[in-house]
C-alpha cells in the first residue's frame, strides 16, 4: 500500500517478456495505482480481499493465470533481475523455489543482528520439526508452479504467510530448491515489519504447522508446461498491501541436462538468455519445444519433501 515512490525503481526492472501485470491494491491513498498505470499502461487492478501481506498474496495467487508464480517485493528490497534464476530452477525440475539470503551468493543489507538471530532460530526449529535443509525462512522471494497453490491451502494473513508456504511446501512432498538472493534496504519509506509481534506469529505458525501435519498425508506433484508469472507485493503493512502479477509466455516440463539448459514439449519455443546479471531476453513463438538457457547458473540447495 502507498508505494508510488518505489514503483518507478522496481517495475521498469522486471523482464520485458511478460504479457500480464496484476496489481492487487490494498486501498492505497497515494498515487500507487496511477503510477503503476503510467509505468505499465495495460496493468490489471485487483482489489485485495482482507488485510495483511498474506491476504494480499492470496488475492494475487487467485488472480494469476500463468503456470509459474514469482513473489517479489516492490519496495526495492528484492531485485527483479534475479527472477530468471528462480524460473531456471523450476524449469530444471523444482516444484517450489525459495530465495535465501544465507547461502553462497546471497546476502542482506536490511537485517539487524536481532532479526538475523531470530531467523536463524526459526530455521533451526523448522529443520527439527519439519525436516528439510533450509538456510533461510522469513524471506518473501519465492517462485512455484501455480498448480501447487491448492496443495499449500494457504490461509495466513500476515507476515507468517512466507513461513507457512515454506513449511507446507516441504510437508506436501514438493521438490524444493533454494537459490541465492540479495535483500537490499527499501528505497523510500519505512517498512511495516514489527519484530516482536510478527516474530511471534512466525513462531506460532511453526508449531501450528507441526500439529497440522500430523493429520495430513504427503503429496508429490509433477510439473509440466511453463508460463512464467511474477507476483510483486507492493507493501507489507498489516492494514493492506499492493501486489502485482506478471507472466512470461513459455513452455517446458522441467527436463534438464545438467549444463544450465532445460527444455520440454509445448506449443511455443521461447528462449531466455541469462547474462551475468541474469536478465531475461526475448521470447520467440513457434511450433516446437521450450528451451531455457542459463549462461550463469547460481548455486542451488535442493531438497525434496521432509525427513523426520
> What integer is the mean pLDDT of 116-120?
95
Give the SS3 label for residue 147.
helix
Rounded-to-integer distance, Cα 93 and Cα 254, Å:
4
Residue 2 lies in a domain: no
Domain range holding 28? 7-304
Domain presence at residue 39: yes
| Rg of the chain, C-alpha, whole Å | 18
For strands 68-71 and 107-108, give the pairing: unpaired
Among 175, 107, 168, which Cα is nearest to 136's?
107
The answer to whether residue 1 is domain-embedded is: no
State how far the Cα of 225 lies from the Cα of 235, in Å rounded to an integer: 31
Position with higher pLDDT, 21 vs 253: 21
Q: Provide the CATH number for the domain around residue 108.
A: 3.90.550
Cβ atoms 156, 205 nearer than 8 A: yes
**Cβ pair 242, 26 in contact under 8 A:** yes
Q: Which residue has the cell 495467487?
A: 61
pTM of structure: 0.73
Mean pLDDT of 17-42: 86
Q: State how far the Cα of 7 lies from the Cα of 30, in Å rounded to an integer.
A: 12
Number of structural domains found in the chain: 1
Q: Which residue has the cell 528439510?
A: 132
Residue 226 included in any domain: yes
- For the segment 259-278, the average pLDDT, to the nearest whole number, is 34
Dump pLDDT digits (tens) for 282-298.
222 233 333 333 334 45
State how far the alpha carbon of 199 is from the alpha carbons of 47, 113, 120, 187, in Å. Answer: 27, 14, 12, 23
Residue 207 belongs to some domain of the structure: yes
Transcribe 51-95 into DSSP letters.
Answer: SSHHHHHHHHHHH--SSEEEE--SSSSS-GGGHHHHHHHHHTT-S
For 14-30, what is the mean pLDDT?
82
194-248: per-residue pLDDT in tens?
888 989 999 999 999 999 988 765 555 444 444 445 555 443 333 334 444 444 4
- Whether residue 173 is contained in a domain is answered as yes
For residue 70, what are the CA distances in angstroms to 84, 105, 174, 246?
Answer: 10, 19, 16, 8
Amino acid at each position: 500500500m502507498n508505494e508510488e515512490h518505489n514503483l518507478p525503481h522496481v517495475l521498469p526492472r522486471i523482464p520485458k517478456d511478460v504479457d500480464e501485470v496484476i496489481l492487487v491494491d490494498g486501498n492505497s491513498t497515494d498515487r500507487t495505482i496511477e503510477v503503476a498505470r503510467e509505468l505499465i499502461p495495460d496493468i490489471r487492478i485487483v482489489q485485495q480481499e482482507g488485510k495483511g501481506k498474506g491476504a494480499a498474496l492470496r488475492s494475487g495467487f487467485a488472480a494469476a493465470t500463468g503456470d509459474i508464480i514469482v513473489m517479489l517485493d516492490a519496495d526495492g528490497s528484492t531485485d527483479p533481475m534475479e527472477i530468471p534464476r528462480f524460473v531456471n530452477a523450476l524449469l530444471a525440475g523444482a516444484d517450489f523455489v525459495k530465495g535465501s539470503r544465507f547461502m553462497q551468493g546471497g546476502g542482506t543489507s536490511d537485517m539487524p543482528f536481532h532479526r538475523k538471530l531470530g531467523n536463524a532460530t526459526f530455521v533451526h526449529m523448522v529443520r527439527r520439526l519439519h525436516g528439510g535443509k533450509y538456510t533461510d525462512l522469513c524471506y518473501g522471494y519465492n517462485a512455484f508452479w501455480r498448480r501447487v497453490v491448492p496443495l499449500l491451502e494457504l490461509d495466513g494473513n500476515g507476515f507468517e504467510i512466507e513461513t507457512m508456504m515454506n513449511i507446507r511446501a516441504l510437508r506436501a512432498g514438493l521438490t524444493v530448491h533454494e537459490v541465492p538472493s540479495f535483500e537490499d534496504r527499501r528505497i523510500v519509506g519505512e517498512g511495516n515489519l514489527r519484530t516482536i509481534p510478527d516474530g511471534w506469529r512466525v513462531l506460532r505458525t511453526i508449531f501450528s504447522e507441526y500439529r497440522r501435519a500430523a493429520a495430513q498425508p504427503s503429496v508429490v506433484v509433477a510439473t509440466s508446461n511453463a508460463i512464467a508469472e511474477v507476483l510483486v507485493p507492493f507493501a507489507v503493512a498489516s492494514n493492506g498491501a499492493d501486489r502485482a502479477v506478471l507472466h512470461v509466455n513459455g513452455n517446458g516440463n522441467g527436463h534438464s541436462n545438467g549444463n544450465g539448459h532445460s527444455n520440454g514439449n509445448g506449443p511455443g519455443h521461447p528462449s531466455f538468455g541469462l547474462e551475468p546479471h541474469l536478465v531475461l531476453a526475448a521470447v520467440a513463438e513457434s511450433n516446437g519445444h521450450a528451451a531455457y538457457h542459463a549462461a550463469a547458473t547460481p548455486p542451488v540447495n535442493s531438497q525434496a519433501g521432509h525427513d523426520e
